[in-house]
Amino acid sequence: MAVQDLPMVGDSFNVGFRFQRYWDTPMANAFFCCEAGAGFFLASMLAGFVPGMIVGLAVGMTLKSFFHLSHMGVPAKSWRAILRPDRSWISRGVLGITFLVGFGVAHIANVHYGLGAAWGLPQFVSDLVKFAAGAAAVLCMTYQGFAMSHSSAISLWSTGLMPVSSFVYAASSGLMLVLAGGWNSFLAERGDTRAILITLGMFLCFALAAVLISLLHASRHGSPGARKSFELLTKELYAKWFYLLIWIVGIIVPVLILWLAPNQTTIIIAAVCVLLGHYTFRVLIFKAGVFEPIMNFRP
């Protein structure tokens, strides 16, 4: 039997493909909340949208931690995850979240209350805090992809496109939330900024399409496990959700709205569509991951 014709064998001892289910919906929820929250914080910080920074920080801090702990078998030992930043992207991610919360709160307090000027601190201190918060946000937007790309047993994940997809999805979700949340507030009198964000939103949607096509191409021409994941996403079990929610709802609809009819109502719809596409990608990329088939057994 050719490798590409092997069946899904579940937990049996037959030769074939097996789904990974160690990371499933709870981890998809955690990844999504971390990426969307950090992306919202970073986009809001660059645009000067304080409510967005607060909401993004709150989502990344609370919901990410809740769903991650709900996945763990022994949540009381979760503090150990921070002990190996030299060898683990999970540890680096925990540190990133810690730094994001610390420097993010400091930056928000400085912007909102002007603490730097009130305390007589030089400007470079405020700039350093802002830079550290932004760097921590970028780490939180990407580290999940780096963690997945180390999984050599699951070929769909074992690619440098994983952290790229994490960053682009986080950035697009954050930018669309800034547009939706600030359309009639801080963007109302900043038409130039609004136009730039609309153009950038379309660019990020095209970037999402390019990343997805690249990921599919790599899977289609990869190992047997990668080719099986490609078929699951495009032809078999998850194809309808992949095309409907990730491509049509998550990319095509937002591009058409941003291009043809951007207003308060349609921008909110576009933001929801991007978030739905982002979440669906997170869920399906876990569900379509399969282990490489074991072709022989040796002592």
The predicted-structure confidence for 125-162, as pLDDT tens digits, reads as follows 889 999 999 999 999 999 889 988 887 778 899 899 99
Q: Which is more confident, 249 or 16?
A: 249
Determine the Cα–Cα distance for residues 113 and 272; give it in Å rounded to an integer: 32
pLDDT at 261 over 90: no
* 4-13, 102-111, 203-212, 286-295: least confident range: 4-13
Q: How many degrees, rounded to 5, is the angle at CA 70 between CA 66 and CA 73? A: 140
Determine the Cα–Cα distance for residues 136 and 125; give it in Å rounded to an integer: 17
Q: CB–CB of 109/115 below 8 Å?
A: yes
Contact partners, residue 267, CB within 8 Å, separation at least 6: 176, 179, 180, 183, 257, 258
Tell me yes or no: is domain 18-291 CATH 1.20.1630.10.
yes
pTM, two decimals, is 0.87
What percent of the chain lies above the pLDDT cut of 70?
A: 84
- The pLDDT score that the predictor gives to residue 191 is 74
Mean pLDDT of 113-120: 73
pLDDT at 107 over 60: yes
Domain locations along the chain: 18-291
Mean pLDDT of 97-114: 88
Determine the Cα–Cα distance for residues 177 and 111; give it in Å rounded to an integer: 20
Strands 290-291 and 18-19: antiparallel
Average pLDDT of the chain to the nearest whole number: 85
